[in-house]
Structure 1
Amino acid sequence: MKITELLEKNTIKLKLESDTKSEVINELVNILDSAGKLNDREEYKKQILKRESEFSTGIGEGIAIPHAKTSAVKIPSLAFGIKKEGLDYESLDGTDAKLFFMIAATEGADNEHLDTLARLSSMLMNEGFKNKLMNAESKDTVLNLIDEQEKEYIKSKKINVEPAENNLDEKSHKLILAVTACPTGIAHTYMAADALSNKARDMGIQIKVETNGATGVKNKLTDEDIQKADGIIVAADKQVEMKRFDGKNLIQVSVSNAIKDPEALINKSISSEAPVYHSDKKGEISKSEVKQKNGFYKHLMSGVSNMLPFVVGGGILIAISFMFGIKSFDPKDPSFNVIAKLLHDVGSTYSFSLMIPVLAGFVGMSIADRPGFAPAMVGGLIAYNNGAGFLGGLIAGFLGGYVVVLLKKAFSGLPTSLEGIKPVLLYPLFGILITGIIMLLFIVDPVKAINAALEQWLGSMGTANKVILGIILGGMMAVDMGGPVNKAAYTFGIAMIAAGKFTPHAAIMAGGMVPPLGIAIATTLFKNRFTAQERDTGKTCYIMGATFITEGAIPFAASDPARVIPASVIGAAAAGALSMIFNIGLPAPHGGIFVIPIINGNPLLYIFSILIGSFITAFLLGFMKKPLDKKL
């Protein structure tokens, strides 16, 4: 099937009217709908936008290929439009898009249709072809250009191009293998394949690329290929078969990286920088991932992430109960309210009582897999019931996990006939026994003493020391925005709440709210310092900051760490210090603006602390970032 059988005159527009990404998507959808190609316009547009949310289909070099495969499409079709002035399409290389192909594929599109669409994606990598399309003066010219280029492309694919023998150098003896795959398997899969193939040919390097597209796996890599390969590139945004690459130098990246910078990937794949890939039994875990899995931070974060739903859900329920009165859950208090007691019971008596055992259980499970869960969780429950608190739960998690690791080694010599009883009898029996005894005899009392000393130290702090603590805790929340430093401060705050000390966590939440709020304010006040995409993202930062989701600032920190991180840390530290100066206490571990009404202290002063820190961050960003060369 020819491309021009999918692209018709009534789906071509030589002068698009749109000025923004959302407008051009809407305009192209309308073109297809008006031509009778869609069953459901709104559903098709929804699928297009869903695809864009994964990553932009603005591939760079002035091209955008929005696409979707859905039952909302009646007839497989193409829409094509030109915007010579260009518009910001959030392209991979930051350039404005000028040529737009919108692909509409049916849910059950046959291979012939999909192969045709894939061919178009590859053809667009040709610079001369793009320039001719840009200057086409009629719809007939567009169709003729596509027909001519398609013939040339098919002809070129029938020729096996090898490096010239008289130009052989060290690189030309190299063999690179690649696998490309995007979620829909229509456009980016084949564009990445062509980008890698073309660049390798230019560099005099042999390459074979396997595509995992909508029509299935094409040009599949053989065992012989893999054995001979000097390097392997997996450019994929969906799962591909990985076990076959065990022991080979391999680079894993997003499919967009292969389109954007194929030369860098090829060079890295044949250098010493490419790590050796090691699969597990399922063939899906790399060496770097295994290393992370065995690390202290990985185990800790496994516990914290699984504990957070109990913390957040229970904490907000407790906060809501406080709105009826701080003691409204107590039947003996004059402010007693039945609803408040119900909320407090669910949040505190039940949800919070599981917090420390769940933390410990998942730390143990991260260390020793499923057999480590029960001993560690029992150890966490012992810590909770005996006043050892959060620190005791952490110790229980690591203790339970490593006890099971030792048990696995101890029982490794047993006959294979007893293998089945290890996880159901031996590991839980001896794991719980050993962990429980150690916790009760050696851990609980010392940890209780540490917690008591910490409470006494915090209680004896003067204003100056509290301010220093507020600066440290607030700043820690902005250092890595959800990373280990941020989580260390957050877990310390939770421990303090459990110990009845509420001021540290108020400083922590204030510091955590500042980075996204400060960035949001900066994108509003200093628009010429940010691209259109950043300004749009900045709007969501208002919501994320207000709800205490520090991670909302990560995209900005990743793109400009030298400015964003220092500005965020300074603003967050200021907010933490002010919170301490105003002696604000926060009995709820999460919630952002929703829990401000129940803080201990003046809510307006707490809001003032957060806003001051946020504006400090915003003005620092406005000062440090330079105006963009052009309005994006």
Structure 2
Amino acid sequence: MKITELLRKDTIKLRLDSTTKADVIDELVNILDKAGKLNDREEYKKQILKREAEFSTGIGEGIAIPHAKTAAVKTPALAFGIKKEGLDYESLDGTDAQLFFMIAASEGANNEHLDTLARLSSMLMNKEFKDNLINAGSPDEVLRLIDTQEKEYIKANSNSAKSEETEETHAPSSKYVLAVTACPTGIAHTYMAADSLNNKGKEMGIDIKVETNGSTGVKNRLTDEDIKKADGIVVAADKQVEMGRFDGKKLIEVSVSEAIKDPEGLINKALSEDAPVYHADKKDKSGKKTRSERKGFYKHLMNGVSNMLPFVVGGGILIAISFMFGIKSFDPKDPSYNIISKLIHDVGGTYAFSLMVPVLAGFIGMSIADRPGFAPAMVGGLIAANNGAGFLGGLIAGFLGGYVVVLLKKVFSGLPDSLEGIKPVLLYPLIGILITGIIMLLFIVDPVKAINTWLTQWLGSMGTANKVILGIILGGMMAIDMGGPVNKAAYTFGIAMIAAGKFEPHAAIMAGGMVPPLGIAIATTIFKNRFDKEERDAGKTCYIMGATFITEGAIPFAAADPARIIPASVVGSGVAGALSMMFNIGLPAPHGGIFVIPIVNGNPLLYVFAIIIGSFITAALIGFLKKPIMTDVM
């Protein structure tokens, strides 16, 4: 598609009346609205201003490209205006803007539209082209200039691609730099930053390859071989990009605007000996270990679990609060009935908590197949929740809905480009929901319901000895990887049991999850000569993290000394889980630490005793296993 198919005479104004940034945005929005390109003028303007709030789209050198991608746009379009004397648009380089391209991209804009808009952004990096536009005498001349420049751009990039295919015939540069560019909308700044880096790299005589993360997906993806031989990497991004692949490489991480403003400085920094080395497993400011990238099954599962947790925690704790009035006080037929208890229970259980399984499934599906996977997976999760398949059924629905849409994408990949826009709004939801729903109802619900019924009966028939063994297993699992897949497997099992009305397993799980940070905190207090000053200071925060059931607070210590910290934590957590089960403690709330201990089923003091015993066992083992260090402990 040509740029002039999006830019028409009625969306060009050669002499803008505006004198301020707010005025020019309003004027260009009016031009698009009068041309019939918008569904909702105010909503479109709101999205333009929201984008400006992130950072100014005045990219410098006399250019501003305000843009938004929203359902308020009826037809993808461009508005173009000139203010020859310039006006203050808060540009990156401090100069006044003279050329204004306002991009209106519809929510369902296909790749061809978005590629065309990206091409315009790159073309504007040509100074001669910009000067000619400023001095254009008519809308026809503007369209002619753009057509001519577009043909030259396409030809130049075609020749560049051919030269890259035969690059082995040329002597390679002594330096090789990689870059990734990405902005929130992925329409303009992503590609302008890429061109800025590419052009400056060529000017400096440096081989450079730039990956763009735009609205149409990843283009010019960096390969493992590229990364292996790179001398330096620049990540210019204002949204999340795939970072784990750069582990161990010199890397500069900046805003996308920095790549437009100072590409030479970034390239030099990435190549300097002082450039920081990126580590995929690192600590954030709180000392908590963060992981930049997850893959496959675990990534999809964690996307579902993380989005489910607010419903689980909020709804679950509300249910637990309602139990404070009496375990059946929410039931109008029970003698202990209390209207406040029923109100709280309805909000937490009937509404918030009941969304747990559908939300889990929906976000698993979205992780697998992007936004089109959300609806089929969420409907599958609702079917599971309403038909007794529960948490396990929701997991299956999430993966089923996601991969059904992945299959549909392949099936429909051969459709004409003109039908691209109806895929996400019609074909994927219609056929995806139908297929997922039929499979869930006919093949998944009944078998999974039978498994859930058997599991509930099995837990109910357990004797004390078997419960203690289960408590050891669940408590120990919470400490093995402290927030990783084993920890989350135990935690999600506990949530499933709460949903099934069995509260004892989750009590053991929370006790086991509280022990590692609490045990480490106690160890840094009692065995000071085993830790340096920084570790002792970090140990104080572990009291808070452990008390509030944040197992991840132990991760920095486990990462520094896994051979001693992890075994000590697993033993202490296992003991706490076993004691919790032995004391018949039930926990109706999915989270909360010390704040939900008063509402446990059973004796709260015995539950606290179980956690304290487990924590001191962990602390004692750490003190025994770790050797004193030669440092001042005063």
TM-score norm. by structure 1 comes to: 0.59
> In structure 1, how many angstroms separate the alpha carbons of the residues matched to 2:536 and 2:334?
50
**TM-superposed deviation, 1:332:** 2.5
> In structure 1, how many angstroms separate the alpha carbons of the residues matched to 2:381 and 2:239?
39
Amino acid at match of 2:355: L
Q: Which residue of 1 aligns with 2:310?
A: 309
Provide, for residues 434-476 of structure 1, a one-character-per-residue CA deviation record: whole Å limited to 9, x for no partner: 1111111111000000111111221222222211111111010
Amino acid at match of 2:531: F
**TM-superposed deviation, 1:505:** 0.8
**TM-superposed deviation, 1:312:** 0.8
- Structure 1 residues 452-471: aligned runs within 5 Å: 452-471=453-472
**Residues 234 and 252 in structure 1, CA contact (< 8 A), matched pair in contact too:** yes
> In structure 2, how many angstroms separate the alpha carbons of the residues matched to 1:503 and 1:326?
15
Q: Which residue of 1 aligns with 2:490?
A: 489
Q: Does 1:233 align with 2:223?
A: no
> In structure 2, how many angstroms separate the alpha carbons of the residues matched to 1:480 and 1:264?
34
**TM-superposed deviation, 1:478:** 0.5
- CA separation of 1:234 and 1:601: change in aligned 2, threshold 3 A: same
- Structure 1 residues 352-431: aligned runs within 5 Å: 352-431=353-432
Q: Which moved more, 1:579-588 or 1:429-438?
A: 579-588
**Residues 177 and 231 in structure 1, CA contact (< 8 A), matched pair in contact too:** yes
**Residues 252 and 275 in structure 2, CA contact (< 8 A), matched pair in contact too:** no
**Residues 231 and 249 in structure 1, CA contact (< 8 A), matched pair in contact too:** no
Query: Any gaps of 5 or more consecutive residues in structure 1?
Result: 1-109, 112-172, 181-211, 276-287
**Residues 312 and 590 in structure 1, CA contact (< 8 A), matched pair in contact too:** yes
**Residues 232 and 250 in structure 1, CA contact (< 8 A), matched pair in contact too:** no
> In structure 2, how many angstroms separate the alpha carbons of the residues matched to 1:395 and 1:175?
48
> In structure 2, how many angstroms separate the alpha carbons of the residues matched to 1:628 and 1:329?
57
**Residues 177 and 208 in structure 2, CA contact (< 8 A), matched pair in contact too:** no
SS at match of 1:409: helix
**Residues 380 and 396 in structure 1, CA contact (< 8 A), matched pair in contact too:** yes
Amino acid at match of 1:553: A
> In structure 1, how many angstroms separate the alpha carbons of the residues matched to 2:437 and 2:596?
37
- CA separation of 1:576 and 1:263: change in aligned 2, threshold 3 A: farther
Amino acid at match of 2:398: G
Provide, for residues 375-409 of structure 1, a one-character-per-residue CA deviation record: whole Å limited to 9, x for no partner: 00000000000010000000000010011111111
> In structure 2, how many angstroms separate the alpha carbons of the residues matched to 1:248 and 1:392?
37
- CA separation of 1:235 and 1:404: change in aligned 2, threshold 3 A: closer
Q: 1:251 aligns with which of 224, 249, 252?
A: 249
> In structure 2, how many angstroms separate the alpha carbons of the residues matched to 1:234 and 1:556?
30
Q: Which residue of 1 aligns with 2:130?
A: none
> In structure 2, how many angstroms separate the alpha carbons of the residues matched to 1:372 and 1:310?
20
Q: Which residue of 1 aligns with 2:532?
A: 531
Provide, for residues 164-223 of structure 1, a one-character-per-residue CA deviation record: whole Å limited to 9, x for no partner: xxxxxxxxx95365999xxxxxxxxxxxxxxxxxxxxxxxxxxxxxxx9xxx99x96447
> In structure 2, how many angstroms separate the alpha carbons of the residues matched to 1:553 and 1:379?
37
Q: Does 1:480 align with 2:481?
A: yes
> In structure 2, how many angstroms separate the alpha carbons of the residues matched to 1:567 and 1:423?
51
- CA separation of 1:265 and 1:453: change in aligned 2, threshold 3 A: farther
Amino acid at match of 1:618: A
SS at match of 2:429: helix
**Residues 361 and 398 in structure 2, CA contact (< 8 A), matched pair in contact too:** yes
- Structure 1 residues 75-154: aligned runs within 5 Å: none
> In structure 2, how many angstroms separate the alpha carbons of the residues matched to 1:592 and 1:602?
15
- CA separation of 1:539 and 1:254: change in aligned 2, threshold 3 A: farther
SS at match of 1:508: helix
- CA separation of 1:588 and 1:252: change in aligned 2, threshold 3 A: farther
Amino acid at match of 1:608: F
**Residues 481 and 553 in structure 1, CA contact (< 8 A), matched pair in contact too:** yes
- CA separation of 1:250 and 1:504: change in aligned 2, threshold 3 A: closer
- Structure 1 residues 195-274: aligned runs within 5 Å: 221-222=201-202, 224-227=205-208, 230-234=229-233, 239=237, 251=249
Q: Which residue of 2 aligns with 1:584?
A: 585
- CA separation of 1:248 and 1:498: change in aligned 2, threshold 3 A: closer
Q: Which moved more, 1:422-431 or 1:596-605?
A: 596-605
> In structure 2, how many angstroms separate the alpha carbons of the residues matched to 1:461 and 1:235?
58
Amino acid at match of 2:344: L
> In structure 2, how many angstroms separate the alpha carbons of the residues matched to 1:264 and 1:562?
33
Query: Over the residues paired in the alignment, what is the CA RMSD in angstroms?
Result: 4.0
SS at match of 1:490: helix
**TM-superposed deviation, 1:562:** 1.4
Amino acid at match of 1:567: A
Amino acid at match of 2:383: I
Q: Which residue of 2 aligns with 1:137?
A: none
Query: Any gaps of 5 or more consecutive residues in structure 2?
Result: 1-92, 95-172, 181-192, 210-225, 254-267, 281-290
Q: Does 1:175 align with 2:156?
A: no
> In structure 2, how many angstroms separate the alpha carbons of the residues matched to 1:580 and 1:179?
54
**Residues 234 and 250 in structure 1, CA contact (< 8 A), matched pair in contact too:** no
**Residues 232 and 249 in structure 1, CA contact (< 8 A), matched pair in contact too:** no
- CA separation of 1:526 and 1:322: change in aligned 2, threshold 3 A: same
- CA separation of 1:591 and 1:177: change in aligned 2, threshold 3 A: same
> In structure 1, how many angstroms separate the alpha carbons of the residues matched to 2:274 and 2:301?
35
**Residues 231 and 248 in structure 1, CA contact (< 8 A), matched pair in contact too:** no
Amino acid at match of 1:232: D
Aligned residues: 409
Provide, for residues 237-295 of structure 1, a one-character-per-residue CA deviation record: whole Å limited to 9, x for no partner: x848999x9x999826588xx99xx98999x99xxxx99xxxxxxxxxxxx978x44x0
> In structure 2, how many angstroms separate the alpha carbons of the residues matched to 1:575 and 1:503?
13
> In structure 1, how many angstroms separate the alpha carbons of the residues matched to 2:238 and 2:431?
40
Q: Which residue of 2 aligns with 1:319?
A: 320
> In structure 2, how many angstroms separate the alpha carbons of the residues matched to 1:385 and 1:240?
40
**TM-superposed deviation, 1:622:** 1.3
> In structure 2, how many angstroms separate the alpha carbons of the residues matched to 1:225 and 1:240?
25
Q: Does 1:499 align with 2:500?
A: yes
> In structure 1, how many angstroms separate the alpha carbons of the residues matched to 2:403 and 2:472?
36
- CA separation of 1:232 and 1:338: change in aligned 2, threshold 3 A: farther
Q: Which residue of 2 aligns with 1:574?
A: 575
- CA separation of 1:240 and 1:353: change in aligned 2, threshold 3 A: closer
**TM-superposed deviation, 1:331:** 2.2
**TM-superposed deviation, 1:226:** 2.6
Amino acid at match of 1:570: V
Q: Which residue of 2 aligns with 1:555?
A: 556
**Residues 175 and 207 in structure 2, CA contact (< 8 A), matched pair in contact too:** no
**Residues 364 and 402 in structure 2, CA contact (< 8 A), matched pair in contact too:** yes
> In structure 1, how many angstroms separate the alpha carbons of the residues matched to 2:274 and 2:360?
42
Q: Which residue of 1 aligns with 2:169?
A: none
SS at match of 1:251: coil
> In structure 2, how many angstroms separate the alpha carbons of the residues matched to 1:232 and 1:249?
13
- CA separation of 1:461 and 1:242: change in aligned 2, threshold 3 A: closer
**TM-superposed deviation, 1:415:** 1.5
Amino acid at match of 1:486: N
Amino acid at match of 1:600: N
> In structure 2, how many angstroms separate the alpha carbons of the residues matched to 1:419 and 1:309?
35
> In structure 2, how many angstroms separate the alpha carbons of the residues matched to 1:345 and 1:516?
35
TM-score norm. by structure 2 comes to: 0.58
> In structure 1, how many angstroms separate the alpha carbons of the residues matched to 2:501 and 2:607?
19
**TM-superposed deviation, 1:317:** 1.4
- CA separation of 1:564 and 1:177: change in aligned 2, threshold 3 A: same
- CA separation of 1:542 and 1:626: change in aligned 2, threshold 3 A: same
